[in-house]
Amino acid sequence: MSAIFTRAPYRIGLNGPVRWGRLRRVSAVVWTAVGSLAAWLWLLLGQGFFWRTDVRLPPRGEPDVWPSVCVVVPARDEAAVLPESLPSLLTQDYPGHAEVFLVDDGSADGTGELARELARQHGGLPLTVSSPGEPPAGWTGKLWAVRHGIGLARVRGPEFLLLTDADIAHDPDSLRELVAAARTGGFDLVSQMARLRVESLWERLVVPAFVYFFAQLYPFRRIGVRGSRTAAAAGGCVLLRTDAAERAGVPDSVRQAVIDDVALAKAVKGGGGHIWLGLADRVDSVRPYPRLYDLWRMVSRSAYAQLRHNPLLLLGTVLGLAVVYLVPPVACVVGLVTGSAAAAVAGGLAWLLMTATYVPMLRYYRQPLGLAPLLPFTALLYLFMTVDSAVQHYRGRGAAWKGRTYARPAPEQR
């Protein structure tokens, strides 16, 4: 009897706390998984249906008189992609007057001369190649080049400006459709998210997710609603009314912006402009990103600037990515291993919702749907890229564009 009484407290003292500690750990996993599931239910229904990919150019009709358009192309060391992109601009099937201004921003690879040679070979729209010189203090290089191009274009008095990057190829009717959409819908800015190249393994894993995350931050449906505070554009293809640009003070008002396309859209919308952004059918990027390193640079260049260089926003973003994207598969696996049905079900359902919302973007990019469950892995890469962007900022390297580094954020961005 005494032996029983002496051993019983020993069992209770050891086994009780062990079971209770394990229970607390499982409960923490369950509650975190439930929180992640709740977040995904809200994202599914309350974030502007960001996951849908049917936001394309709005209904449009041909105007009685086609307005004049000037195309501005900032280019720095773009000789590798110009043969695929520039001819597509020069040969636009546009009924009105249009011409192209390519701004050779200090290229060292013969970009300017190649552009002139391509114009001689292909003919089409008139091409002017010019150089702005080095940007003064307070300007990011690309926006300084855009400013120079807009200055040249304004002499022609165009109704619209098409701002497009040197790596963007346009279908022959791209300009025509953009202008028709702007005129029909009364838009001051019409932008299309160019379809990025998806050929290498890393492009398949990272690129569709890049557009998916962008749409999650800036739901396309909300951007086109008058009175909505959501504003964004895709810098590769922006059709902008000249008078709207003047009202918004563009590009001077956004001269220090690293994420220039979003800043441009906010300036136009803040000036009372009506803007629209959607996915492209006639606009493609020809720039390759064959290695993870290339994609890493593309994202980390501006990730911390997107967070306004705020450490608290960085911490919140890291925690948010972890809870929303990493917890579901981890909770599902932990639940299956430990026998916790609640953790497995909550994590599995959240993972299923994540996968289902990613499928439309994979279809848009014509990628295997089997990549959808791998989104947590891609999100983990983006988490590391975001942290690396902050590390580079505090090391004084800052954001960079074509070899130029912008070490500190502009006052307007803080």
Query: pLDDT for 213-243, tens place per residue?
Result: 999 999 999 999 999 999 999 999 999 999 9
Query: What single-letter DSSP state applies at residue 136?
Result: P
| Res 410 pLDDT > 80 | no
More confident residue, 275 or 9: 275
Contact between 149 and 127 (Cβ < 8 Å): no
Mean pLDDT within 326-353: 96
The per-residue pLDDT for 397 is 65
CA atoms in the 13 A half-sphere facing the CB of 373? 8
- Cα–Cα distance between 285 and 168 in angstroms, integer? 5
Strand-pairing partners, residue 191, are: 238, 277
Q: Is the pLDDT of residue 6 over 90?
A: no
**What's the confidence (pLDDT) of residue 409?**
47
* Mean pLDDT within 292-317: 93
| Dist. CA 269–CA 265, nearest whole Å | 6
Over range 374-394, report the average pLDDT: 96
What's the rounded mean pLDDT across residues 11-18? 46
**Token representation of residue 389:** 């962007």
Q: What pLDDT does 141 receive?
A: 72
What local confidence, expressed as pLDDT, does residue 14 receive? 43
Please tell me the predicted confidence (pLDDT) of residue 290: 93
pLDDT of residue 9: 40
pLDDT of residue 118: 98
pLDDT at 325: 98
Q: How confident is the model at residue 395 (pLDDT cuts 50, 70, 90)?
A: confident
Q: Is the pLDDT of residue 15 over 60?
A: no
Q: What is the mean pLDDT of residues 374-381?
A: 98
- Return the half-sphere exposure (C-beta side, CA atoms, 13 A cut-off) of residue 300: 21
Mean pLDDT, residues 384-392: 95
Tokens 């289902």: give the residue: 356
Q: For the chain, how many residues are written?
A: 414
pLDDT of residue 398: 57
The predicted-structure confidence for 83-137, as pLDDT tens digits, reads as follows 999 999 999 999 999 999 999 999 999 999 999 999 999 999 999 999 998 888 8
> Per-residue pLDDT tens for 51-89?
999 999 999 999 999 999 999 999 999 999 999 999 999
Domains of the chain: 29-51+294-396 (no CATH), 69-288 (3.90.550.10)
Alpha helices (runs of H) in 190-340, residue ranges in sequence order: 201-217, 220-223, 242-248, 260-270, 292-300, 303-306, 311-321, 327-338
For residue 182, what pLDDT is reported?
97
For 152-209, how does the pLDDT look when each residue is reduced to its tens digit (9 = 90+)? Answer: 999 999 999 999 999 999 999 999 999 999 999 999 999 999 999 999 999 999 999 9
**pLDDT value for 403:** 61
- pLDDT for 1 beyond 70: no
Q: What is the 3-state secondary structure (H, E, C) of 28-93?
A: HHHHHHHHHHHHHHHHHHHCCCCCCCCCCCCCCCCCCCCCCEEEEEEECCCCCCHHHHHHHHHCCC
